[in-house]
Amino acid sequence: LAEFTLVGSSNHDFYDVSLVDGYNLPLDITPSTTDSGNSSGTTNCRRIGCDSDLRDICPKELAVQAGGHVVACKSACDAFNTSQYCCTGEHANPNSCQPSQYSVVFKKACPTAYSYAYDDRSSTFTCTSFATDYTITFCPGKASAAAPP
CA distance 26 to 38: 29
Q: Which CATH architecture group holds 2-74+103-138?
A: Sandwich (2.60)
What lies within 8 Å, CB to CB, of 4 at 6+ separation is: 13, 14, 15, 134
Three-state secondary-structure class, residue 130: coil
pLDDT at 142: 58
Q: Does the pLDDT of residue 6 top 90, yes or no?
A: yes
Q: Does the pLDDT of residue 143 top 50, yes or no?
A: no
Q: Does the pLDDT of residue 2 top 90, yes or no?
A: yes
* pTM score: 0.84
CA distance 127 to 23: 25
Q: What is the mean pLDDT of the chain?
A: 89
Q: Does the pLDDT of residue 9 top 50, yes or no?
A: yes
CA distance 68 to 62: 15
Choose between 131 and 100: higher pLDDT. 100
Which whole number is the average pLDDT over 21-32?
A: 94
Which amino acid, one-letter code, is at 64?
V
pLDDT, tens digit, 9 for 90 and up, residues 113-123: 999 999 988 89
Of 19-23, 117-121, 139-143, give the lowest mean pLDDT range.
139-143
Percent of the chain scoring above 90 in pLDDT: 77
